[in-house]
Chains A and B, each alone.
Chain A
């Protein structure tokens, strides 16, 4: 597979790099959070100066300085638009990758590729895609997408094929059911960048087939039948002469000791809970089953990012790790 980026990617790990990628989900969904107001007699310099992009920027910055590999701006009907979010974040950080969720009806694959080629140029190839194919029908229609069933996967296949086609070829023609391009293809400095790392998800045969053909990383959930699905995906990918990395979406409640972790409030169901060492051991267990990308949900607060960055991530630096 294509490693997702120059830095901290999931290609051949160097001795000082983690063998895994840790991605954080950005706080881009739902209504804007309003900060707790200060009493009137306390000087408050924030009035009107800061907005949601400052909060997102703060999280991105924390991910950057604490050593995470990247951030994800998910696609959701109530979310900030992910391309705008990720472009701004990557501009202000040097190392993290940014993965933008979108549905494949957003526009033409040529335009998506063109916009992405610029972002790869601007960010030294740190931009990634997460096309979301399997939307609830009402959500899909509200975004202009009236396809249902297997057609959605056929369109996503075309979308990715054309986007990669114009990316990799100087003279590219494709007349498909949903999209077309005639004598297209990037030239000059727009050509030759790394195609955005493609993240996909879903457990249906259609979803696995799409990933087998196009994904760099297929992201599962902790409730999925991981071993069977990873094996299935591997076979399908081998049929295309490819391999696809497996990712896992999960939540983590890690503290210095187990009791402290169990006292954490608002922990989502199925969260990995325990001391940093216990959580690290569970993550290694997933790694042994073939998972190499961990997508942490829900969006953590800055203090949580610092805690994980300083205390959990170091347990995975290869020279300290137990995985070899």
Chain B
């Protein structure tokens, strides 16, 4: 079984490096000389939009050897459905992994959109099903449903969506959705159902994933914790006769040598607000975010204090928006860590780096060719907090203290 390696397409602009939090690509910052998409020509916007940059990233990523791109969804980003539908016919083999929250679309509508997009792309749609990070962001979206109920809704959504997809007419009167005689028209029927990458670290998420995930997707965590989490998912899935594959979302900063890689981190570190070194704050109910904050002994003073195990660095969120953990090291080291994850049972990666376009090229040329696959003598080697302490009821129920981080991004 081959390993699927995705990249990420930023849906809210991009920085030219991790050295400064300065967004020059897309229009999330003022458009000035040096801005890209839109840029300036003779003092006026040049007519390009952020979508044109996303298209460039998609093409570069495709040429660099990745199978597709994750399009994240947050209140401040462009929308993944809009981007994927717009770019559908600008790439050839590239898959669009669309992040979406089931609560926002009716499953029949989702089925129709997906089927049309499968037809427009020749079957290149992949789902990143996210169930929301709670807190103010969830209310911003107009969604008041609580944490565990959101997973129940996700589960019901996928049940209805699949039933409609695989044949109708479907009549369903559930807790969140009702339909009577639903189905896809002849025109839209018979498309392959998109692969499901399912995100969520809580018990409710893992239970829902057991039923629906083709790939159980996690942020990167120190490897033993990740292995323990995968075991939980395997256990829940086995109990209902399923065996999901595993995927990890990882930021990578790789250079020819280890020193060069850490030098890059240190350059960005100079601009980090010291307040943020005291520890992460959050306002949502994301268990994944809570877990990731606990692998580090906060507060910290230097970058290497965030290295939870060799090359596994928990400070990316300080240098750009997004999750904390990623890999920092030489090309060979990063490739070796990815091989270790493959040995732990990982079947797919969603990699990312800043800037997305150039780093896709770098990783495609220098890291992916070094991968060896499921080689036998790999063992994770660094102790981390045991996952049991993270799954206490207190850890699962701490609304109001966590930042809203709804999904992989």
Contacts and interface: CB of A to CB of B under 8 A. Distances in A.
B78 A81 contact: no
A84 B86 CA distance: 8
A311 interface: no
Contacts of B104: 107-108, 110-111
A115 B177 contact: no
Contacts, number: 169
Contacts of A121: 49-51, 78
Contacts of B120: 53, 84-85, 88
A144 B115 contact: no
A78 B186 contact: yes
A209 interface: no
B60 interface: no
Given A32-B187, A143-B179, A119 B82 contact: yes
Interface in B275-326: none
A75 B49 CA distance: 28
Contacts of A90: 86
A1 to B, nearest CB: 25
A57 to B, nearest CB: 8
Nearest to A145: B106
Interface residues of A, number: 56
A118 B78 contact: yes
Interface in A87-118: 87-88, 90-92, 102, 105-111, 114-118
Contacts of A143: 106, 108-109, 179, 182
Contact of B49 (A81, A122, A146): A122
Contacts of B245: none
Contact of A83 (B28, B50, B81, B185): B81
Interface stretch (B135-143, B213-221, B260-268, B399-407): B135-143
A228 interface: no
Interface stretch (A184-192, A239-247, A299-307): A184-192
Interface stretch (A7-15, A174-182, A264-272, A316-324): A174-182
A52 B81 contact: no
Contacts of A188: 28, 76
B28 A189 contact: yes
B28 A91 contact: no
Interface of B: 26-28, 47, 49-51, 75-76, 78-79, 81-83, 85-90, 103-109, 112-113, 115-117, 119-120, 122, 136, 139-144, 169, 177-183, 185-188
User: Ordered nearest first, which 5 A-B pairs have the shortest CB separation?
Assistant: A87-B85, A111-B104, A141-B180, A81-B116, A182-B139
